[in-house]
Amino acid sequence: MGVAGASLIGLGMGGEADVTPWLIAKYFGLRSFSTLYALTWTAYAIAGAIGPVIMGKAFDATGSYQTLLMELAGSTAVASMLFLLVPGYATDAVPGSSSIVSNVA
């Protein structure tokens, strides 16, 4: 179970570092890329700093991490489902194509 968990965490962390800049560039363009990329990593760093404090306070209040971890798992599931609602990003017009919007599926 530990090896499976560590593998999934590794894939998630590695994928995040690759997918975040790609999505920012596709959805917002390169003009605002550096600002948005910096903001995403700033938010990531703040969450990394606050997360252990919140987990510690939850343990002190309840004597267990289980309640907060279940709430965080639910929040993660909702956030994952919201990605299904993200519209396709604009692409350059391809000669002969009828649409300049590509659907992400």
Determine the pLDDT at residue 9: 84
3-state helix vs strand vs coil in the chain, percent to 5: 75, 0, 25
Task: Tell me the whole-structure pTM to 2 decimals.
Answer: 0.64
Residues 6+ apart with CB under 8 A from 91: 100, 101, 102
Determine the pLDDT at residue 97: 42
Determine the pLDDT at residue 43: 93
Determine the pLDDT at residue 83: 87
How many other C-beta atoms are found inside a 10 Å radius of the C-beta of residue 24? 19
Determine the pLDDT at residue 54: 95
Residue ranges in the chain whose pLDDT is less than 70: 91-105
3-class secondary structure, 18: helix
